[in-house]
């Protein structure tokens, strides 16, 4: 693939501009095609499969639709409220602990939704710690069954609100402050300023965060299954894996895809309508000190959310760990952690390769075609992991059969990494795209006009300027792969376990106490990229 | 770009070195297994020690493994497929993913209704799907069969997990086979009408719900109760001790059972080793451990069930050939969907 570019890469003379760009464009096209082929294979290989869709549509479809929409709307609204309120509070005011909470409130991001589902259900259940403690003090009814729709919305909201919190915080702190300053110089009083100027300015960032949350909800499988909520996502699994009905699975996937596309269009329409140009290097908005009751309430609110979303579940996992027989898991731990790390780093490297090249080429050629090539690689993010896994399997088999006779790619670690690239290129797309948007019309064009070769444009201008975007993208992808489950479960090679798959296997075998060690490890190791994310956000 | 290319080529080379080598010098057997218990790993290690054959394992849910085997086709490296229910083995056979093998040991050890007529797969352990109930709230003279669960007297009392679970699917399949299709629909609708709450959680959650007073009768697998009785969590032990177990249909066809089982993959590169592994797992001393650790019943009748299981009582098992469960699985899912048992 890099061969297409090699003959041109060293040439910097303007006369070769067209050819050189052509080479890069072919490279980007090839990469995008590579990412898209598994998905195309899926759809074509099962186009003919009719399946028993009529039966499914009559009985299940309305329920899937209602549950899916309720869940997406419920989690969307509650993360909107939680994320925005906490971001405003910690970025605009000073109160005891404010600085700490700016970091602390990001931490729940390290919890995979399926682990959170088991943990919260465990805390509240009959044999959970609440009930045990309550009984100790003579109170016998401190337990509740939180399985079901409201419980699921609450659990998913608690692990997903940091997306909204983070995007909103970044927007408040670095982007629009010059608007605020000019509005202030017009004599607008602070509260009115926040209400009338700041909040409208924040809308695109909030919408972006909520969109990410909704995508995560639609891709969850483990939590929905455990809480007993059938949706399009679980329906795909039932149709495909339990009923062997590929046709229905794909049609359900199509519905899911339509919902995702609609949400995406809604988000970009909304953001275009509310578009504001960003201002850089302006002074951050000054924070106001909260006093007395207000300060107390602010601290209590932030503290309460932090406790419920992070401290309580972590404490519960430690409690399980303390009563569990973890000898087996401890012996295996270094190997598990190593595999998890290998997956995350290898996957992130491949994702970056895909996204950097396509985004660079988009910048280089500035055509509609280049734009769509750059955007198309993000599509895998809208498709559930298990579906992608099958696509990658089909693709690996095709490659193996074409080039040799055995199983080389299929069942290999490379196939797994490749699947991560297909699934998570979309995660890296957003930050890199945003970063390269900012560059347009400035240095990049200046570089082009003085006849820098494409290679030099990439190495000397694009990469350094996209540094923060790349770092943010890497961090997000590493977090995602660390928590990833269905893809890894299906595609992993022989004798290969990660922390996430081990945690899931124990939980699935209903041995939640034994799941504590690997689950806690996923969360704690997942904290590292989250801390990094915090630094990146702060430095922006 | 050149560096990128070199780096990528290196990555490619590093990643594609086959993880399951095909050299004949290394004796090995590749297992695709739905069972991911620690004991399995320990027994595989013992097998390696005894025979020198390395056991390579991929764990995933059986449904996913079947799709993987199908997709990998002739290149599939799997020698042995292990599932924790009969339905999936039958489906694997239907999908033409298994091959027959004739073994005197298997034929002599495993009762005929516990293996495929075409010698495509065999059971390794047995688990029973029973009823757990609150002894002080349930009059067991009115509850003797699965069919009784649909009786209106249990309205608001019955607890169960989702119908997406294979154990519930196989249970309904056995009712279709024994009582006929229309009776099975009526049964599913009747039980659904008796739900104490929407199906949710796993089997252990149903037992805890009895202890919490949310319902009185739960449909559970024996080994989950065994695991709860020996749980790390004292509150779980307590919940399990508060319920009693009832083996349904003891006076007619017997209690519905399911199995863990194994079949040799169609394109197995190490077929002989796979058969050796099956025979090893059926051996008396291995069976004892294999079944014990997971509170399952051994299929080798010479091996004794664990004390804990013996305390649950002996029972007559439904001798319906397990093959039928797999054949009726799709119909059972349809019925659950029709009556709205989610």
> How close, in Å, is residue B108 to chain A by CA atoms?
31
CB pair distance less than 8 Å for B72 and A407:
yes
- Residue B281 clears pLDDT 90, i.e. is over it: yes
User: Closest Cα to residue B235, out of A519, A507, A513, A152?
Assistant: A513
Contacts of A320 in chain B (CB under 8 A): 232-233
- Residue A372 clears pLDDT 60, i.e. is over it: yes
Q: B254 — phi, psi (to 5°)?
A: 105, 170
Which residue has better confidence, A189 or A531?
A: A531
Q: Cα(B29)–Cα(B49) distance, rounded to whole angstroms?
A: 13
Contacts of A508 in chain B (CB under 8 A): 36
A73-323 adopts what CATH topology? MetI-like fold (1.10.3720)
Query: Which whole number is the average pLDDT over A489-509?
Result: 86
- The pLDDT value given to residue B38: 81
The beta-carbon neighbor of B200 closest among A228, A241, A401 is: A228
- The pLDDT value given to residue A422: 94
Which residue in chain A has the smallest CA separation from B336? Answer: A59
ipTM over 0.85: no
Three-state DSSP at B28 gives strand
Which residue has better confidence, B137 or A190?
A: B137
Q: Which helix (H) or strand (E) holds B246?
A: strand B244-246
Contacts of A492 in chain B (CB under 8 A): 58, 60
Which residue in chain B has the smallest CA separation from A127? Answer: B235
User: Closest Cα to residue A231, out of A403, A61, A400, A430?
Assistant: A61
The beta-carbon neighbor of B236 closest among A3, A6, A127 is: A127
Question: CB distance from B321 to chain A under 8 Å?
Answer: no
Q: Which helix (H) or strand (E) holds B55?
A: strand B54-59
> How close, in Å, is residue A26 to chain B by CA atoms?
14
Q: Cα(A22)–Cα(A27) distance, rounded to whole angstroms?
A: 9
Q: Decide which of 3.40.50.2300, 1.10.150.120, 2.140.10.10, 3.40.190.10 is the CATH code for B28-126+258-304.
A: 3.40.190.10
Which residue in chain B has the smallest CA separation from A486? Answer: B60
In the block, tokens 């298994």 appear at B98
Three-state DSSP at A498 gives coil
B128-256+323-339 adopts what CATH topology? D-Maltodextrin-Binding Protein; domain 2 (3.40.190)
Among A282-296, A298-312, A356-370, B251-265, the range scoring the smallest mean pLDDT is A282-296
Question: CB distance from B10 to chain A under 8 Å?
Answer: no
The domain locations on chain B are: 28-126+258-304, 128-256+323-339
Contacts of B15 in chain A (CB under 8 A): 346, 412-414, 417
Q: What is the 3-state secondary structure (H, E, C) of A209-259?
A: HHHHHHHHHHHCCHHHHHHCCCCHHHHHHHHHHHCCCHHHHHHHHHHHHHH
Task: Report the share of chain A in percent with pLDDT over 70.
Answer: 86
Which residue has better confidence, A41 or B11?
A: A41
The answer to whether A206 touches A80, Cβ cutoff 8 Å, is yes
B residues 43..102 contacting A (CB < 8 A)? 56-61, 63-64, 66-68, 71-73, 75-77, 91, 95
- Residue B222 clears pLDDT 80, i.e. is over it: yes
The beta-carbon neighbor of A510 closest among B169, B199, B224 is: B224
Query: Which whole number is the average pLDDT over A67-90?
Result: 94
The beta-carbon neighbor of A6 closest among B2, B56, B235 is: B2
- Residue A80 clears pLDDT 60, i.e. is over it: yes
Q: Cα(B10)–Cα(B7) distance, rounded to whole angstroms?
A: 5
Q: Cα(A271)–Cα(A531) distance, rounded to whole angstroms?
A: 29
The beta-carbon neighbor of B91 closest among A244, A394, A407 is: A244
> How close, in Å, is residue A1 to chain B by CA atoms?
8
User: Closest Cα to residue A3, out of B154, B5, B232?
Assistant: B5
Contacts of A324 in chain B (CB under 8 A): 232
> How close, in Å, is residue A444 to chain B by CA atoms?
18
Which residue in chain A has the smallest CA separation from B87? Answer: A242
User: Closest Cα to residue B228, out of A513, A129, A392, A332?
Assistant: A513
Q: B194 — phi, psi (to 5°)?
A: -95, 0
Contacts of A244 in chain B (CB under 8 A): 91, 95, 330
Tens of pLDDT, residue by residue over A412-458, are: 899 999 999 999 998 888 778 776 666 555 677 777 777 778 778 88
Residues contacting B140, CB < 8 A, separation 6+: B133, B246
Which residue has better confidence, A327 or B316?
A: B316
Please give the DSSP secondary-structure letter assigned to residue A278.
-
Tens of pLDDT, residue by residue over B223-279, are: 888 888 988 888 888 889 999 999 999 999 999 999 999 999 999 999 999 999 999
CB pair distance less than 8 Å for B56 and A495:
yes
The answer to whether B322 touches B260, Cβ cutoff 8 Å, is no
Mean pLDDT of chain A: 81
> How close, in Å, is residue A539 to chain B by CA atoms?
29
Query: Which whole number is the average pLDDT over A200-220?
Result: 85
Query: Which whole number is the average pLDDT over B27-36?
Result: 92
- The pLDDT value given to residue A34: 87
Q: What is the DSSP string of A302-326?
A: HHHHHIIIIIHHHHHHHHHHHHS--
Which residue in chain B has the smallest CA separation from A328? Answer: B38
The answer to whether B318 touches B249, Cβ cutoff 8 Å, is yes
Tens of pLDDT, residue by residue over A45-78, are: 666 555 555 556 666 788 888 999 999 999 999 9
Which residue has better confidence, B6 or B212?
A: B212
Q: Cα(A389)–Cα(B46) distance, rounded to whole angstroms?
A: 33
Highest averaged pLDDT of the listed ranges A264-268, B141-145, B290-294, B303-307: B141-145
- Residue B29 clears pLDDT 90, i.e. is over it: yes
The answer to whether A266 touches A273, Cβ cutoff 8 Å, is no
Question: CB distance from B340 to chain A under 8 Å?
Answer: yes
Which residue in chain A has the smallest CA separation from B333? Answer: A243
Which residue has better confidence, B314 or A283?
A: B314
CB pair distance less than 8 Å for A495 and B57:
yes
Is B28-126+258-304's fold the same as B128-256+323-339's?
A: yes
Residues contacting A85, CB < 8 A, separation 6+: A301
Residues contacting A94, CB < 8 A, separation 6+: A287, A288, A289, A290
- Residue A279 clears pLDDT 70, i.e. is over it: no
The answer to whether B25 touches B271, Cβ cutoff 8 Å, is no
> How close, in Å, is residue B174 to chain A by CA atoms?
17
Among A40-44, A102-106, A308-312, the range scoring the smallest mean pLDDT is A40-44
- Per-residue confidence at B11, pLDDT binned at 50, 70, 90? low
Question: Which pair of tokens denotes residue A508?
Answer: 């699935």
Among A245-259, A295-309, B17-31, B322-336, the range scoring the smallest mean pLDDT is B17-31
- The pLDDT value given to residue A282: 53
Question: Which pair of tokens denotes residue A477?
Answer: 């992808």
Which residue in chain B has the smallest CA separation from A8? Answer: B1
- Per-residue confidence at B14, pLDDT binned at 50, 70, 90? low
Tens of pLDDT, residue by residue over A131-140, are: 778 777 877 7
Question: Which pair of tokens denotes residue A204?
Answer: 């695109």
- The pLDDT value given to residue A389: 84
The answer to whether B228 touches B207, Cβ cutoff 8 Å, is yes
Question: CB distance from B118 to chain A under 8 Å?
Answer: no
Phi-psi region of A49 (alpha: psi -120 to 50; beta: other; left: phi over 0): beta
The answer to whether A498 touches A336, Cβ cutoff 8 Å, is yes
- Residue A327 clears pLDDT 50, i.e. is over it: yes
Task: Report the share of chain B in percent with pLDDT over 70.
Answer: 93
The beta-carbon neighbor of B36 closest among A225, A494, A509 is: A509
Which residue has better confidence, B173 or A195?
A: B173
| CB-count burial class (<10 Å; 0-12, 13-18, 19+) for B79 | buried
- The pLDDT value given to residue B5: 52
- Residue A149 clears pLDDT 70, i.e. is over it: yes
Question: Which pair of tokens denotes residue B196?
Answer: 């104490």
- The pLDDT value given to residue A312: 94
- The pLDDT value given to residue A257: 76
Tens of pLDDT, residue by residue over B159-210, are: 999 888 889 999 999 999 999 999 999 999 999 999 999 898 889 889 989 9
CB pair distance less than 8 Å for B162 and A513:
no
Q: Cα(A429)–Cα(A374) distance, rounded to whole angstroms?
A: 8
Angle of helix A292-306 relative to helix A61-92, nearest 10 degrees? Answer: 140
Contacts of A325 in chain B (CB under 8 A): 232
């Amino acid at each position: 693939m890099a061969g297409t570019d090699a003959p041109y890469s060293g040439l910097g003379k303007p006369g070769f501009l067209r050819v050189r760009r052509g080479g890069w464009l072919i490279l980007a096209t090839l990469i995008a095609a590579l990412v898209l082929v598994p998905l195309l294979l899926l759809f074509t290989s099962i186009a003919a499969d009719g399946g028993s869709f009529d039966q499914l549509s009559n009985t299940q479809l309305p329920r899937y639709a209602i549950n899916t929409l309720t869940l997406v709307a419920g989690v969307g609204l509650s993360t909107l409220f939680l994320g925005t309120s906490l971001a405003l509070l910690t970025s605009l005011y000073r109160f005891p602990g404010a600085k700490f909470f700016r970091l602390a409130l990001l931490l729940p991001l390290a919890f995979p939704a399926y682990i959170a589902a088991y943990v919260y259900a465990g805390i509240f259940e009959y044999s959970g710690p609440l009930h045990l403690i309550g009984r100790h003090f003579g109170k016998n009814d401190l337990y509740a069954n939180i399985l079901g729709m409201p419980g699921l919305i609450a659990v998913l909201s608690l692990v997903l609100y940091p997306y909204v919190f983070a995007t909103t915080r970044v927007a408040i702190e670095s982007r629009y402050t010059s608007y605020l300053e000019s509005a202030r110089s017009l004599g607008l009083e602070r509260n009115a300023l926040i209400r009338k100027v700041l909040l409208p300015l924040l809308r695109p960032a909030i919408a972006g965060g909520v969109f990410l949350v909704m995508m995560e909800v639609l891709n969850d499988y483990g939590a929905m299954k455990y809480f007993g909520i059938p949706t399009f996502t679980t329906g795909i699994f039932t149709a495909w894996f339990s009923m062997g009905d590929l046709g229905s699975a794909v049609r359900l996937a199509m519905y899911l895809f339509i919902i995702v596309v609609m949400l995406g269009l809604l988000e970009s329409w909304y953001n275009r309508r509310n578009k504001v140009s960003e201002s850089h290097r302006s002074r951050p908005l000054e924070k106001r000190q909260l006093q007395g009751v207000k300060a107390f309430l602010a601290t209590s609110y932030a503290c309460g959310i932090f406790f419920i979303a992070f401290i309580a579940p972590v404490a519960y996992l430690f409690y399980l760990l303390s009563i569990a027989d973890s000898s087996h898991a401890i012996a295996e731990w270094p190997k598990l952690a190593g595999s998890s790390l290998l997956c995350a780093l290898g996957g992130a490297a491949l994702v970056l390769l895909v996204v950097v090249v396509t985004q660079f080429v988009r910048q280089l050629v500035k055509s509609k075609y280049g734009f769509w090539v750059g955007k198309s690689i993000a599509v895998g993010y809208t498709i559930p992991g298990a579906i992608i896994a099958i696509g990658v399997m089909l693709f690996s088999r095709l490659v193996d059969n074409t080039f040799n006779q055995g199983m080389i790619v299929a069942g290999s670690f490379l196939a797994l990494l490749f699947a991560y690239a297909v699934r998570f290129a979309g995660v890296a797309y957003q930050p890199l795209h945003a970063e390269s948007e900012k560059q347009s019309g400035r240095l990049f064009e200046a570089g082009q006009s003085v006849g820098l070769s494409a290679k030099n444009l990439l190495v000397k201008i694009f990469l350094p300027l996209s540094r923060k975007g790349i770092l943010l993208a890497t961090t997000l992808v590493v977090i995602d792969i660390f928590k990833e489950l269905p893809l890894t479960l299906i595609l992993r090679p022989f004798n290969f376990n990660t922390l996430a798959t081990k945690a899931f296997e124990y939980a699935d075998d209903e041995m939640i106490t034994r799941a504590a060690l690997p689950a806690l490890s996923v969360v704690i190791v997942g904290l590292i990229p989250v801390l990094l994310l915090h630094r990146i956000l702060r430095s922006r | 770009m050149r560096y990128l290319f070199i780096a990528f080529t290196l990555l490619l080379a590093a990643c594609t070195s086959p993880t399951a080598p095909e050299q004949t010098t290394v004796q090995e057997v590749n297992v695709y297994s739905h069972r991911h218990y620690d004991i399995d790993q320990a027994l595989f290690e013992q097998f390696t020690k005894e025979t020198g054959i390395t056991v390579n394992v991929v764990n995933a849910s059986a449904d996913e493994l079947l799709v993987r085997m199908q997709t990998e086709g002739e290149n599939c490296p799997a020698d042995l497929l292990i599932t924790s229910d009969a339905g999936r083995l039958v489906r694997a056979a239907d999908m033409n993913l298994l091959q027959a093998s004739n073994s005197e040991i298997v034929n002599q050890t495993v009762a005929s209704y516990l293996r495929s007529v075409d010698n495509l797969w065999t059971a390794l352990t047995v688990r029973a799907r029973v009823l757990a109930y609150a002894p002080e709230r349930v009059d067991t003279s009115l509850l003797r069969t699965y069919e009784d669960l649909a009786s209106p007297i249990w309205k608001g009392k019955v607890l169960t997990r989702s119908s997406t679970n294979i154990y519930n699917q196989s249970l309904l399949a056995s009712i279709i086979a024994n009582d006929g299709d229309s009776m099975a629909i009526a049964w599913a609708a009747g039980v659904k009408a008796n739900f104490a709450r929407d199906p949710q959680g796993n089997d252990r959650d149903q037992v805890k719900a009895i202890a919490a007073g949310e319902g009185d009768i739960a449909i559970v697998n024996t080994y989950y109760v065994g695991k709860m009785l020996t749980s790390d969590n004292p509150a779980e032990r307590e919940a399990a001790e508060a319920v009693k177990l009832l083996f349904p249909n003891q006076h007619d066809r017997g209690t519905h059972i399911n199995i863990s089982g194994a079949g040799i993959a169609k394109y197995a590169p190490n077929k002989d080793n796979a058969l050796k592994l099956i025979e090893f797992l059926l051996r008396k001393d291995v069976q004892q451990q294999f079944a014990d650790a997971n509170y399952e019943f051994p299929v080798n009748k010479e091996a004794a069930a664990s004390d804990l299981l013996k305390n649950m009582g002996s029972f007559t098992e439904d001798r319906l050939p397990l093959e039928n469960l797999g054949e009726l699985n799709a119909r059972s899912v349809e019925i659950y969907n029709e009556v709205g048992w989610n």
